[in-house]
Amino acid sequence: MNEILQESMYFGFFLALGTYWIGLKLQKRFPYTLCNPLLVSTVLCIGILLVFRIDYEVFDAGASHISYFLTPCTVCLAIPMYKQVRILKKNLAAILVSIVSGCLAASLTIWGLCALFGLDGGVYHSLQPKSVTTAIAIGVSSELGGNTALTIMSVVVTGMFGGIMAKVLCRLFRIKDPIAVGLACGNGAHAMGTSKALEFGELEGAMSSLAVVVAGVVTVILAPLFAGMIP
């Protein structure tokens, strides 16, 4: 099977798109938290690769082309933010305090968990930028000497968990303010959280977009400071 698929550079590309399309259909039919399209797509892709014993490298040869759209998609998040610029200016101080607090909480949590489970410095540095968008996380991890593959996995898992649990947690803690909801989604789950925030509303999406950008900048500053605090 590997030999056959190696001749097709776009196998992974169409498998990823096809499984995501299935996930979208399932979400429309069954609007439950676990029917998140990204989660469905991930599970289906892993299942297909395991059942047909297809090497990940064969899949990644085509699927990696999707990552080319990551940067323009991230830039597009500025559109809802621009539309809500008046509200952003009005609540600027509270927004900045919220985002910085979220970044500090993420860094301290990683430090605490690595210390608790006795993880080494390589893992610690790899996990530090888990709550920012992939493009920034990879750069930070590389500079700190982390494992970029582990960083990418942690970013994806963080985003998926945040996207799946956003509405549940907002209901559980009775968080209804659109600014708070948006900042939490963007700060905790980066771009994937922003896609979920847009389901709440345009203002939530704008706040989440802002959180993604600012959290990325703050993490770039904080990560080197925490780098010396290896558990």
| Residue 100 CB partners (closer than 8 Å, separation 6+) | 218
pLDDT one-digit tens code per residue, 82-98: 777 788 788 888 889 99
Output the pLDDT for position 205.
86
Q: Which residue has the tokens 């097709």?
A: 8
Q: For residues 153 and 72, which has the higher predicted lDDT (pLDDT)?
A: 153
Taking residues 111-115, report their average pLDDT.
92
Output the pLDDT for position 63.
82
pLDDT one-digit tens code per residue, 157-188: 898 888 888 888 898 999 889 999 999 999 98
| Stated length of the chain | 231
Long-range contacts of 63-67 (CB under 8 A, 24+ apart): 63/12, 63/13, 63/15, 63/16, 64/12, 65/10, 65/13, 66/13, 66/16, 66/17, 67/134
Per-residue pLDDT band at 12 (split at 50, 70, 90) = confident
Taking residues 30-55, report their average pLDDT.
86
